[in-house]
């Protein structure tokens, strides 16, 4: 084979990598980690883990094919239709355990901050002065 053919093959391969690798990596990062969902069959909370590797590999070829790796409802419900995947597909970030905990901590900090501000004597005296001016 000539050097020109090797260069063309190299350019095609690098171009494919340029477009495929970001999609594969992004899909893997998007679907990794444990999630809390509501089981459509039992209407109870369940912790699931996606098969992020499979989703990433299929995303390189077409739309990612989602499937569960683990679920707290298994083994008794292992043959389920995995209808909970729709919840994850529609909102992958909102059901991640880490994101749920972050939101809870932010809310708690806000409550604590509001409580501290209102119990601060300086703030209360300024609020009282503002009320008396009206």
Q: Are residues 66 and 8 in the same domain?
A: yes
Q: Are residues 86 and 109 in the same domain?
A: no
Please give the tally of structural domains in the chain. Answer: 2
Residues 69 and 50: beta-carbon distance below 8 Å? yes
Q: In what order do the strands lie in the sheet with 34-38?
A: 34-38, 45-50, 68-71
pTM attached to this predicted model = 0.63
Q: Digits of tens for pLDDT over the chain (134 positions)?
A: 688 899 999 999 998 888 888 888 999 988 888 888 888 888 888 889 989 889 988 887 788 888 889 888 888 877 788 888 888 888 888 888 888 888 888 888 777 777 766 565 655 565 555 555 55
Q: Are residues 70 and 112 in the same domain?
A: no
Q: Are residues 75 and 22 in the same domain?
A: yes
Point out the domain boundary residue: 90, 108, 125.
Answer: 90
Q: Are residues 33 and 68 in the same domain?
A: yes
Using CA atoms, how far apart are residues 77 and 47, in angstroms rounded to an integer? 13
Quote the domain boundaries for residue 69: 1-90
Q: Are residues 76 and 19 in the same domain?
A: yes
Helix (H, G, I), strand (E, B), or coil: what is residue 68? Answer: strand
């Amino acid at each position: 084979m000539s050097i020109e053919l090797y260069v063309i093959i190299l350019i095609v391969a690098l171009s494919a990598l340029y477009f495929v690798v970001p999609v594969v990596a992004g899909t893997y990062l998007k679907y990794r980690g444990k999630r809390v969902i509501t089981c459509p069959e039992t209407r109870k909370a369940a912790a699931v883990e996606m098969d992020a590797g499979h989703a990433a590999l299929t995303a390189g070829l077409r739309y990612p094919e989602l499937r569960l790796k683990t679920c707290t409802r298994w083994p008794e419900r292992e043959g389920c239709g995995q209808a909970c995947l729709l919840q994850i597909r529609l909102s992958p970030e909102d059901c991640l355990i880490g994101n749920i905990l972050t939101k809870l901590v932010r809310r708690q900090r806000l409550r604590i901050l509001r409580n501290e501000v209102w119990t601060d004597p300086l703030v209360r005296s300024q609020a009282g002065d503002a009320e008396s001016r009206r």
